[in-house]
Amino acid sequence: MELRQLRERSGLSREQVAEVTEINRATLYRIETAQAKPQVRTLRALLDVYGVTERHRDDLVGILKLAGEESWLHAPSESLPDQYATYIGFEQEARAVLDYQSSFVPGLLQTAAYARAAIPGGALELPTEEIETRVTARMARQSERDSPLTIKVIIDEAALRRRVGSPEIMREQLQRLLDESERPHVTLQVIPFAAGVHPGMQGSFVILQFAEGAHDVVYIEASVRDLFLESESDVTRYNRVFEKLRSMASSPDESRDLITRILADT
């Protein structure tokens, strides 16, 4: 993300950088979208073109070296898919997340038991080890940050009524949602069945918002390949959809009342 911002501040396109550095344009895209890690010499070549100061260069080289260390984010690809790791990286850098979910409770608000029951439903024949790796990663995403992540969540009522795991797991999850909804940095709304047809019925999505000057990213999880959309038109379109869903959803207080009623019936 930092490399992308440096390039854009320099007024250069990927094509222009590729011509100057002889780095493949596709490779530049993969580096800027966290799908590939640059070699140190590649990083230094890019920083030369962008006119980066020595102190900033040292910081970026240090980040690159840290990226090679093993952690829950850098688990083997067969245990934690590259695209999921890419999403986690974006999420760690974001200041706010706008999350609409039609089928499941959002990952940032899931209990471990709910996640363990939900994850196999999104992929066929996942080994137990991979399920546990993903649960661990999901719980780590919920860890406290120095600056709390602003979370705005809209959930379709169907996701709250669909049983994932046992009744006990669902009761624990619904109570977790009630608890999380009271936190100052969390806004939770539910689209009730009574709202009828709405634009979110086409599928779930997440909008990741970053500090001023950085491009927002739309994330769409799919069974074959996850999508990261960053064009201004795509981001604008999904922001409009989210605002439409927000206007159709029950208020936070009404949503808590609905969740309480569902919990009582579970």
Amino acid code (one letter) for 150: T
pLDDT at 213: 65
pLDDT digits (tens, 9 = 90+) for 103-142: 999 999 999 999 999 998 766 677 888 899 999 999 999 9
User: Looking at residues 138-151, what average pLDDT do you find?
Assistant: 90
pLDDT greater than 60 at residue 79: no
Are the beta carbons of 210 and 216 closer than 8 angstroms?
Answer: yes
Reported as a pLDDT band with limits 50, 70 and 90, residue 74 is very low
pLDDT greater than 50 at residue 10: yes
pLDDT at 77: 42
SS3 assignment, position 14: helix
pLDDT at 70: 46
Q: What are the tokens at 58?
A: 């040292």
Cβ neighbourhood burial of 68 (10 Å; 0-12, 13-18, 19+): exposed
Residue of 118 and 212 predicted with greater confidence: 118
User: Looking at residues 223-227, what average pLDDT do you find?
Assistant: 77
**Of 227, 36, 226, which Cα lies nearest the Cα of 123?**
226
pLDDT at 75: 44
The answer to whether the Cα torsion of 228, 98, 108, 211 is positive or negative is positive
Residue of 235 and 69 predicted with greater confidence: 235
